[in-house]
Amino acid sequence: MWHQHLAILPILIPLFTALLQLLPWGDRPQPKRRAIGLAASILTLVASTFLVIEVNSQEMLVYLLGNWEAPFGIVLMVDKLSAMMMLLTAILALPVLVYGCYSEDNLGSHFHALFQFQIMGIMGAFATGDLFNLFVFFEVLLISSYALLMHGGGKFRVRATLHYVLLNLLGSALFLISVGTLYGVTGTLNMADMAVKIQALSGDQAVLAKAGALMLLIVFGLKAALLPLHFWLPQAYSTTSGVVAALFAIMTKVGIYSIIRVYTLIFGADANELALIAHDWLWVMGLLTMLAGAVGILAARDLRLMVAYLVVISVGTILTAYSLFSTQTTGAALFYLIHSTFITGALFLLADVMAFERGKTASRIVSGKKMANHSTYAVMFLVSAVAIIGLPPLSGFVSKLMILESANANGHNFWLWAAIIGATFIMLVAVTRAGSKMIWHTLSGKPSDQSAALGKRASIASLLLLSLLMTVFANPIQQYTQSVAEQLERTEDYPNWVLGSPEVSDE
């Protein structure tokens, strides 16, 4: 049946698209590559939508590549969380790619192929059911990200990319060591199988598994930009092109997803001696990450850099809420994850077009000449500011209110309330200052004659519209994220589905 292959389609579509785009394509190849990329992104979005519908009805799709039974073969394990993250990636990728098709793809070589390889790596990381293939997909998306970060060239991009590459090479080495350690004590790499075998460990074996688990937390913390491993993100995201930074809004979510997956399924409440070993660390480091991001946005003198630190705050907020380990806080954190991805993506693109039209002042938070589309950007900035700060009535307010209410129910209200309200106030000050300097206080004289393409403005508007839609449809989205959290809590279902699933692939 065709629906059996839905789990792998969001991986195969960008893979074959990237291979097609690497072909020469004769004279004027760029329009052809753009058309292929846009068609593939639409197909990926459709496949991801059907995948969410299918998983919502079946609870989980298990895809055994080569028909090798788990835990011996490669397994794709798509539950509600995986399907949600894959759909989120597909939705973000389409307007970002549309934006990139307006000359941004001409700044460097093989932009479209790298874009699709990046999507493939992200989709694979969300779908895979074993730790080694999670490492493989991490490497696919990282190799693509190395090239994309330098898209357009420039010494600042090269320097930021060098730091990014070196840190991630160390992270990859640590990933292999931690996976090898866990394989040595459990004899498996399949996450569902490992979850069962971890429960039986004791003594020295439990100590070794704990060491492997904490090393994995360092790796995933690096990917997610969790303090003190977040220092690479502000420079990397603020110096690269706007289209790449907007796509990378989903990159930190890969690290967050990996933390949620591994430390709920494998090292969750049923792991006996290793139960919830990461959550105390995540609580403290999440709060400190929010603090570091708040200090960063106050110190930022460039709009791109400020948005990068807003990403850091969102990471801290999500992981702090998740660390409370309840279905209510996890569901609220996932709602906030969706919201923050769309808004930070929109802000990176908005900062890019504003920098283009402002000329010499670029994205620096100083007074500059009036932009050609000044009123349009003023409205867009206002909407995105209200959403990212968390003011009513947009999705940022809804998601933060959900987190605070769920924290009350779990008796952790003081520190979380203080952190979120404090960070919100600092965001209000910093974002208001940026808007006042860049939009309200403009220099006298003729407005800029450089106007960004209508398609670019439409891409930004579509991402902002998603925030408005999240506000309108907050209840059904919240119900879905809550069902995701409830499914994550039922860790005993995963071994039953993966190790005892009667439906397998014939591929």
pLDDT in tens, 60-86: 899 888 888 878 888 999 999 999 999
Task: Provide the pLDDT for residue 506.
Answer: 38
Residue 26: left if φ>0, alpha if ψ -120 to 50, beta else—which one? left
Which percentage of the chain shows pLDDT scores above 90?
A: 65
Task: Provide the pLDDT for residue 1.
Answer: 61
Over the chain, what is the mean pLDDT?
90
pLDDT in tens, 206-220: 999 999 999 999 999
pLDDT exceeds cutoff 70 at 412: no
CA distance 363 to 351: 6
Q: Are 10 and 48 in contact (CB under 8 A)?
A: yes
pLDDT in tens, 102-142: 988 888 778 999 999 999 999 999 999 999 999 999 999 99
Task: Provide the pLDDT for residue 502.
Answer: 40
- For residues 347-373, give the mean pLDDT: 89
Task: Provide the pLDDT for residue 320.
Answer: 94
pLDDT exceeds cutoff 70 at 170: yes
pLDDT bucket at 372, cuts 50 / 70 / 90? confident
- For residues 430-459, give the mean pLDDT: 85
Task: Provide the pLDDT for residue 485.
Answer: 94
pLDDT bucket at 272, cuts 50 / 70 / 90? confident
Task: Provide the pLDDT for residue 271.
Answer: 87
Q: Residue 478 CB: number of other CB atoms within 10 A?
A: 18
Task: Provide the pLDDT for residue 245.
Answer: 93
DSSP letter (8 states) at residue 240: S
pLDDT in tens, 33-43: 999 999 999 99
pLDDT exceeds cutoff 50 at 367: yes
CA distance 349 to 304: 9
The two tokens of residue 233 are: 């993100």
Number of H helices, E strands in the chain: 20, 2
The two tokens of residue 280 are: 């105390």
pLDDT exceeds cutoff 70 at 234: yes
The two tokens of residue 93 are: 């990728």
Task: Provide the pLDDT for residue 87.
Answer: 97
